[in-house]
Structure 1
Amino acid sequence: MSPLLSIILAAILSAGIVVSSIPKLVKIAKQHNIVDNPNYRKLNKVPVPILGGVSVFLGITMATSLFVFSFEAKQIFYLFIAMLLMLYIGVCDDITDMRAMRKLIYQILAVCIIVIVGKIRLECFQGLFGIKEIPFVLGIALTIFYSVGILNAINLIDGVDGLASGFGMLVSFIFGISFFLMGDIIYTILCFATLGALLPFFLYNVFGKRNKMYIGDAGSLILGILFATLITLFINEPASLEITSSPITFMVAVFAIPIFDTMRVMVIRILKGHSPFSPDKTHLHHIILGFGFSHAKTTMLEVLATLTLVIVALLITGWPQYLQFGLIVVLCVCVTCIPTLLLRWYIRKYPHCIERRRSASELRRKSSYLYQTMRKLVDGKEVSIEK
């Protein structure tokens, strides 16, 4: 079987597994009350099933395993073990609301499986700041540090419909194309299997009513550890220099919003005297919603912002690495901080417009032909459509 055909079939199979499993998981979640209940800091108005991560995990691992069996794929085995551990911890947290410190310990354990047992650690900076190879112990420490950070950053952006899966699709596509250009078919298959799993989930999450489901902590954690591993593999690969002259800068651009938004929120919480892990409504998606945008438009804006930063990073690849890094960092700070200042101005100037704008946007969305068609697709023709 040709590599290209394997990639396509892996994506199709992964999508098929998700499509077939979500209605069954929705039924199980409702029967056993495994749902995300509304509260003061959540945006959903009704309980929503939260086993979407199980479906996505099955799609990714089953489709990938089937099409990489003919390759030497030992490292993927350890990655899947770590993802399974994150799935378990995420499901437990979705059901019982696990303590943050206990979750952190399990996250570190999962990352150590990949870094120490799977031997996937940061080995070089590819010349950024004049640094090429880095010492073994330092590489392990740095990999564990940023991997746990990425895990939690991806987890924290899962706040509006379609955001985690929409962002995940873009990242999977970028990684998939990158690994394909670098000639790494194993991880290309993995990336496109992830894309295939996330696409139908995105549709159920955004357009579903009867079959609506959240990806939950289980889903965001498996995506987080998967993407953290792909970051390490991409930076270490010498062929990545054929895509961009600064692989680390490119990765910063791809993960700009979750990384810089998480840092911004934590700094604000600390300055206010609160725990950096205390929940609130200060994330970028909350701010965009504050302008009166719908969940769908909020997701679209954040995904477009990420895509713009990635394009900029590719356009400046001929610059010296330190200038590339500096510009991308400045742009990332602007993208995640300026909307907060604009919202304060907007609320003062147009205090009565926000709710009217949000209601009008939601009404237009639900009455659109696309919305009605997609809801029929994910919920079935017998489901009545809201007017």
Structure 2
Amino acid sequence: MNMEFFLILLAVFLSFMLVIISIPPILRVAREKKLFDTINNRKIHTTPTPPLGGVAIFIGFVLSTIIATNGYSFESLKYIVASIILMFFIGLKDDLLAISARKKIVVQLFAAMLLILLGNLQITNLHGIFGVYQIHSAIGVLLTLFIILAIVNAYNLIDGIDGLGSGLAIFASSLFGWWFFIVGQFQFAIMSFALTGSLMGFFLFNVFGKRNKLFMGDAGSLVIGLIISAIIIKFNEFNIIKTGQYSVVAAPAVSFSLVMVPLIDTFRVITIRLWNKKSPFHPDNNHIHHRLLALVPSHLKVTIIIIIANIFLMGFALLLNNLMLNVTFQFLAIFLFGIFLSFVPSMILRIKHVKMPAEGKIVKHTS
């Protein structure tokens, strides 16, 4: 076993164990201090549950990444961690006290700019999408900022049922981690798999915890979104020069497919809200998981269905990539295919004449 492979295994094991070990005391404190998620008519869950899983994810990821990357020249890491800390604390404050969307966006902007300007994580090339390759630095900063904010908030919004946000992120981070490993980018492989291990530990409690269940909260979803966005940016930058055996020709399209579900879901619900002349931050039951729960009243089954859909999207992206088709065509094809899949639950509801519950009504479900 070489040292790089050992360090990746260490990152997975250590992050997993740190989360498993830290969750029981977090639950104990939450119960003593009555730190539970607010229950109201628009929430799917009806049982008081602590929204502090993000604390365990944060601890597991940060500590395991720092330990496992020791000895590597990883200049970006300190800025990635600093940005994660900002995201974590603004998310935790929202979980405990509730803050306005405007304040969250301001902190997200600051964390993203820290990552871009000091962490040197920036999109510099569009790989030929719409015939564009190298882009101006200022445009790159704005585009990277948009990508980070889009992914961060997409993961925040998709986290509506047990296992969904963490399951999608496990799928994405493990595949990115595998790619980074086989191309020799071990620092980002370690970072990716540290996230995978942390989320696997959380997933067990979130989905199968019963009396020990907890949610990841905004602290968890914002941190996950930031890490995934950093990984995606590096994945695209490493694939600018397409000379290696494992180079990805249409890197933007392939990476887009791995986060397609949360991004398309966010795009879809915000479009519907604006069409109905409502605030894009107005909560409703138009998310994909709400539609599927009306058809399949089980969190776990809906989570599995959505992850399988994401696997199909990724497989479609890899097929197009292997066919060496035009990059712009690939990107648009994946986007349109994702849009189509996002409307499938609504089409099935219409065909079966199943009505969604009125806004603010709770759908009975099983875990």
Could you tell me the TM-score, scaled by structure 2's length?
A: 0.93
1:319 aligned counterpart, secondary structure? coil
For residues 84-134 of structure 1, give each alpha carbon's deviation from its aligned partner in whole angstroms, at most 9, with x where no partner exists: 111100110001111000100000000001001112111101222222111
Q: Secondary structure at the match of 1:48?
A: coil
Q: Verify: 1:80 aligned to 2:81, yes or no.
A: yes
Residue 299 of structure 1 is matched in structure 2 by 303
- CA gap of 1:33–1:144, structure 2 versus 1, over 3 A, is same
Which letter maps to 1:332? G
Q: How many angstroms apart in 1 are the aligned matches of 2:248 and 2:351?
A: 38
Q: List runs of 5+ in structure 2 lacking aligned partners.
A: 358-362
Which residue does 1:5 correspond to in 2? 6
Q: Is the 8 A contact 2:239 2:251 kept in 1?
A: no
- Which moves more between the two structures, 235-244 or 54-63? 235-244
Q: What is the alpha-carbon distance in structure 1 between the residues aligned to residue 128 and residue 278 of structure 2? A: 38
Write the deviation string for residues 318-368 of structure 1: whole angstroms up to 9, x where unpaired: 2221221222111111011232122133235999xxxxx977xx4xx7xxx
Residue 209 of structure 2: aligned partner: 208
Deviations 1:212-246 (A, max 9, x none): 11000000000011111111111111378434210
Distance 1:348 1:29, change over 3 A: closer
Which one-letter code corresponds to 2:209 in the other structure?
G
Instruction: Find the counterpart in structure 2 of residue 384 from structure 1.
Output: none
Alignment partners' CA distance in 1, 2:356 and 2:219: 39
Q: Distance in 2 between matches of 1:206 and 1:349?
A: 27
Secondary structure, counterpart of 2:210 in structure 1: coil
Counterpart CA distance in 2 for 1:221 and 1:236 is 23
Partner-residue secondary structure (3-state), 2:212: coil
Q: 1:174: which partner in 2? A: 175
**C-alpha contact (below 8 Å) 1:124/1:134 kept by paired residues:** yes
1:323 to 317, 321, 329: 329
Contact 1:10 1:63 in 2 (8 A): yes
Query: What corresponds to 2:25 in structure 1?
Result: 24
- Residue in structure 2 matched with residue 111 of structure 1 by the alignment: 112
1:308 lines up with 2:282 in the alignment: no
Give the paired residue count: 356
User: Which residue among 273, 279, 287 is the counterpart of 2:277?
Assistant: 273
What is the RMSD computed on CA atoms of the aligned residues? 1.8
Cα distance in 1 between the residues matched to 2:329 and 2:126 = 15
Aligned AA for 2:279?
S
Higher helix content, 1 or 2: 1
Match of 2:267 in 1: 263
Residues 224-283 of structure 1 show CA distances to partners (whole Å, capped at 9, x for unaligned) of: 111111111111113784342101111221111111111111111111111011111110
Secondary structure of the corresponding residue to residue 133 of structure 2: coil
Contact 1:123/1:236 (<8 A) preserved: yes
The residue aligned with 2:255 is: 251
Q: 5+ unaligned residues in a row in structure 1: which ranges?
A: 352-356, 366-387
Deviation at 1:200, TM superposition (A): 1.6
For residue 333 of structure 1, the aligned residue among 310, 325, 339 is: 339
Name whichever of 24-33 and 99-108 sits farther off.
Answer: 24-33
Letter in 2 for 1:30: R
Matched, 1:345 2:346: no
Q: For 1:339, what is the secondary structure of its paired residue? A: helix
| Bigger mean CA offset, 271-280 vs 240-249 | 240-249
Percent identity, aligned pairs only, is 34
Between the aligned partners of 1:186 and 1:231, the Cα distance in structure 2 is 14
Q: Does 1:160 align with 2:164?
A: no
Q: Distance in 2 between matches of 1:257 and 1:195?
A: 18
SS in 2 for 1:127: strand
Matches within 5 A, 1:221-232: 221-232=222-233
Judge conservation of contact 2:167–2:203 (CA < 8 Å) in 1: yes
